[in-house]
Amino acid sequence: MASPLDGIRVVDFTEYIAGPYATMMLADMGADVVKIERPTGDAWRHTAPVAEYESRGYLGVNRSKRSVSLDLETERGRALAQRLALEADVVVANYRPGVAKRLGLDYESLSKRNTGLIYCENSAFGPSGPYSGRAGFDILSQAATGMILYENKMERGVPQFIATTAIADLTTGMFMAFAIVNALYARATTSEGQLIETSLFASGLAAQYRPLLSVDERDKAVREGFLRELEQAKSDGITLEEALKLKAQYIPGRGRNNYYRVYETKDGLIAVACLNNKLRRNLRDALGMDDPSVDGMSYDWFSEEVRVAHRKAAEPFERAFRERTTVDLLSLLDEADVPCQRVKFPEEMYDDEHVRANGLMLELEHPVLGPLRMPSSPVRMSATPPATPTAPPALGADGPDVLRELGVPDDEIARLLEDGVLVTRERLLGEP
């Protein structure tokens, strides 16, 4: 059965997380993704390595691709990369400004000769503005967009970034894949390619769909008042702690939410998620609690009424959970129609019954590391299912095959290997 992107060739010039995650999503849907790596490989291969030229970070975002390792600082390497790009349906790049043009791999140069080319360019901060040209990674997007301050996690006097997942990187990767598929759909009717531009900065803003929503009639004057006072306070040498207290005077944070949080049970942990008052009343009544703030239909967790009610109810709620086992609570809350779930360790996922039932964990055979387990694509499609996954490629493993498909003769491939223009992991390690 055909996969959605069967027959689509993607040439991937990206490193680290955002771009590789996007192209992995395309590979999951059947695209032939040829990943072009520098002679030493994607820089992500060397962070917390599990073997030479292999790391968990690299493995996690590069399955189902083919690796070609080329020295783009050589004329022959650049020429081969350009040939591959010109025969592609999609090119994805995340070079610093000016690098793609120097290599002859920029959209303007390629699209003149391949008018149907879809070129997706991801950068740190976008093509214009005072930050353009700056280097960028996930933490810098969190910092520049203010996201880093929303979690209220402090250590040694400074805010801590969201570290459980690379939120700006992964959000960007999803936006990139989404835009590329839309561009392919548009090309099907127009036969024309196009340039797609994304950035970690833009994704960091877009991810804050609620914090950055301003109802100006209510919010603008308050926000501007805070910013005026903050500017004055900065000139007076305000500390971060004082700045956060100042913000709270203008823009109070959410109060404790007894209905959307994790509780300790007699033998573990359980999470509850009640996002409307009917569900909140279900939880309140199932536990025999008293909280009039969830009567009626509206609920404002920024209001003083809710803050007071929740402070008063917090200890009784916590005590009610600690007095029961997790199994008993799941039974009680399921019966009361309260969304809830036992808190699990990530390590439990490999053999989790629900994960197995839904086929959400892959078991792949890696050419260097052997058996490899990782999450599968979360998408299920009845008529055009995702492609059969393959393990992330070893560095340069597919270079000779991809060049043969390009029409490069075997004797030329041998010379490219001998001269170090084309690289494989085996040659780097001196293996036969």
Look over the chain and give the mean of its residue pLDDT values, rounded to a whole number. Answer: 92
Task: Name which residue leads in pLDDT, 349 or 135.
Answer: 349
Instruction: Look at the domain 260-346 and name its fold.
Output: formyl-coa transferase, domain 3 (3.30.1540)
- pLDDT value of residue 370: 97
- Mean pLDDT, residues 315-319: 95
Task: Name which residue leads in pLDDT, 375 or 254.
Answer: 375
CA 38 to chain centre: 23
Rounded (10°) CA dihedral 348, 350, 355, 361: 150
pLDDT at 401 over 90: yes
3-class state of residue 189 by DSSP: helix
| Structure token digits, residue 173 | 């990767």
Question: What is the 3 state secondary structure string of 355-413?
Answer: HHHCCCEEEEEECCCEEEEEECCCCCCCCCCCCCCCCCCCCCCCHHHHHHHCCCCHHHH
Token pair 């803003």: residue: 205
* Tally of CB atoms within 10 A around 99: 14
| Structure token digits, residue 16 | 């680290």
- pLDDT value of residue 248: 67
- pLDDT value of residue 254: 59
Q: How far apart are CA 356 and CA 338, in angstroms?
A: 25
Contacts of 178 (CB under 8 A, 6+ apart): none
- pLDDT value of residue 253: 61
- pLDDT value of residue 256: 67
Token pair 């109802």: residue: 215
| Structure token digits, residue 61 | 């975002």
- Mean pLDDT, residues 165-183: 96
Instruction: For 9-206+354-428, give the CATH class.
Output: alpha beta
Its pTM stands at: 0.92
CB distance 258 to 320 below 8 Å: no
The single-letter DSSP state of residue 347 is G
CB distance 62 to 92 below 8 Å: no
pLDDT at 354 over 70: yes
Alpha helix locations (H) across 71-215?
Answer: 75-86, 99-102, 107-111, 138-144, 167-190, 200-206
Dihedral sign (CA 237, 240, 245, 249): positive
- Mean pLDDT, residues 75-91: 98
- pLDDT value of residue 257: 85
Contacts of 60 (CB under 8 A, 6+ apart): 374
pLDDT (tens digit per residue) in 212-260: 888 888 888 878 887 888 888 778 887 777 777 777 666 666 556 889 9
In this prediction, residue 94 has a pLDDT band, given cuts at 50, 70 and 90, of very high
71: left (phi over 0), alpha (psi -120 to 50) or beta: beta
Q: How far apart are CA 377 and CA 102, in angstroms?
A: 36
Please provide the DSSP assignment of 295-334 as one string: SSS---TTSHHHHHHHHHHHHHHHHHHHTS-HHHHHHHHH
Please provide the DSSP assignment of 237-262 as one string: T--HHHHHHHHHHHSPPPPP-TTEEE
- pLDDT value of residue 18: 97
Q: How far apart are CA 9 and CA 398, in angstroms?
A: 15
Rounded CA Rg of the chain: 26
- Mean pLDDT, residues 167-175: 95
Question: Which residue, among 144, 137, 159, has the nearest Cα to 205 in the 3D structure?
Answer: 144
pLDDT (tens digit per residue) in 291-311: 888 898 887 766 677 778 888
pLDDT (tens digit per residue) in 37-50: 999 999 999 999 99
Domain ranges across the chain:
9-206+354-428, 216-250, 260-346
